[in-house]
């Protein structure tokens, strides 16, 4: 199959008009004028063009006449910050053209182009082959993301039982990334199902149908892994909450026990203070040495005072002992 590399859009349009075949136009963050020039040449639907210009679309597949419009959310794992970066790519697939509009570094469409150039038989299948190759590349680039998230979750499990105070925040961040990954991958299953329903109507090659089913198999595996990550992180957050609650309960229990111990000490001190207070009170009264006190001239006054002190102390001791104060 003859391949021609056109440098400008005008050259691409001219080659397509003169030589037939199909064109693949790859655009990276195009200006509005560039994208509208392509849209006017190939008759792209205005709503699809607006979506491609605005960006920040959810993954979806829509058909406008003979043109397919797809939005994909590729992802890549960044090792240094340990986080997932999501991109966005729009595809217009028509009878004689394939237009890709990227808003991020991923997917690596250079690798897709090289793969197709090295496989003329696949490239000869036309724009549908480009669609397959781009989908396959996006799904392949999910694998490092799966590995990165899995490694982060393993680290979370280690931190969880080490009492790391930062683990709650890390679990929340990972859960957010896992949800974003789910939103990127889940719609692919339905999109590939929609493509499959149109195989006969749009005369998709049998071998290409098998290739699409292979992409679907890989997608289902990735979706299952993404779902398991979400479940694991939810369980980790539950366990973390349980551990924090347990630690708080232990702290409250320790504080309560300390308060009880302190109360017991106060009771003992108060009890002995009361026991000593009674003799002290009696001694203080008799020590005032007033002239007119009936007990001063009583021969048994001194023994009586001592006995009264002893009896009051014993009575108070027995009372406090029975109440558990001593």
Assign domain 1-116 one CATH number from 3.40.50.300, 3.30.460.20, 3.40.50.720, 3.40.50.9100: 3.30.460.20
- Where do the H-state alpha helices sit in the chain? 9-19, 32-42, 46-54, 109-117, 120-123, 127-140, 142-160, 167-197, 206-286, 301-322
Q: Which residues pair with 28 in a beta bridge?
A: 102
Which three-class secondary structure state does DSSP give residue 297?
helix
CA distance 308 to 326: 22
Name the pLDDT band for 184 (thresholds 50, 70, 90): very high
Q: Which residues pair with 62 in a beta bridge?
A: 69
Backbone angles phi, psi at 105, to 5 degrees: -70, -35
Which three-class secondary structure state does DSSP give residue 91?
strand
* Cβ atoms < 10 Å from Cβ of 130: 25
CA distance 109 to 84: 19
Which residue, 237, 267, 228, 112, is CA-closest to 167? 237
The predicted-structure confidence for 118-174, as pLDDT tens digits, reads as follows 999 998 899 999 999 999 999 999 999 999 999 998 888 778 777 777 788 888 888
User: Is the pLDDT assigned to residue 17 strictly greater than 70?
Assistant: no
Which residue, 255, 251, 247, 249, is CA-closest to 162? 247
Name the pLDDT band for 18 (thresholds 50, 70, 90): low
Contact (Cβ atoms closer than 8 angstroms) between residue 98 and residue 24: yes
Assign domain 263-322 one CATH number from 1.20.58, 1.10.3470, 1.10.357, 2.60.40: 1.20.58
Share of the chain above pLDDT 90, in %: 39
28-51 burial code (b ≥16 CB/10 A, e <16): eebeeeebeebbebbebbeebbeb
The residues spanned by each domain of the chain are: 1-116, 263-322
- For the record, the structure tokens of 140 come out as 């392949």
Same fold: 1-116 with 263-322:
no
pLDDT of residue 245: 72
Residue 183 DSSP code: H
């Amino acid at each position: 199959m003859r391949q021609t590399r056109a440098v400008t859009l005008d050259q691409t349009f001219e080659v397509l008009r003169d030589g037939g075949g199909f064109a693949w136009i790859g655009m990276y963050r195009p200006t509005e004028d560039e994208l509208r020039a392509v849209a006017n040449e190939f008759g792209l639907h205005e709503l699809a063009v607006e979506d491609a210009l605005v960006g920040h679309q959810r993954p979806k597949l829509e058909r406008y006449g003979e043109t397919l419009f797809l939005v994909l959310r590729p992802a890549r794992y960044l090792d240094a910050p340990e986080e997932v970066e999501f991109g966005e790519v729009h595809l217009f697939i028509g009878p004689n053209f394939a237009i890709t509009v990227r808003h991020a570094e991923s997917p690596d469409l250079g690798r897709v182009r090289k793969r197709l150039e090295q496989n003329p038989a696949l490239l000869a299948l036309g724009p549908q082959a480009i669609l397959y190759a781009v989908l396959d590349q996006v799904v392949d680039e999910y694998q490092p993301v799966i590995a990165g998230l899995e490694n982060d979750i393993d680290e979370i499990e280690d931190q969880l039982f080490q009492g790391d105070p930062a683990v709650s925040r890390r679990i929340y961040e990972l859960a957010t990334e896992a949800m974003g990954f789910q939103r990127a991958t889940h719609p692919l299953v339905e999109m590939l199902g929609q493509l499959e329903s149109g195989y006969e109507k749009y005369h998709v090659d049998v071998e290409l149908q098998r290739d699409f089913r292979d992409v679907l198999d890989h997608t289902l595996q990735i979706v299952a892994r993404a779902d398991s990550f979400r479940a694991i992180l939810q369980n980790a957050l539950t366990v973390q909450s349980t551990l924090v609650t347990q630690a708080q309960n232990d702290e409250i229990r320790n504080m309560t026990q300390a308060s009880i111990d302190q109360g017991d000490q106060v009771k003992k001190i108060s009890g002995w203070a009361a026991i000593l207070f009674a003799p002290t009170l009696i001694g203080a009264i008799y020590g005032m040495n007033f002239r007119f006190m009936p007990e001063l001239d009583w021969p048994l006054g001194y023994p009586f005072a001592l006995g009264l002190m002893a009896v009051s102390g014993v009575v108070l001791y027995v009372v406090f002992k029975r109440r558990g104060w001593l």
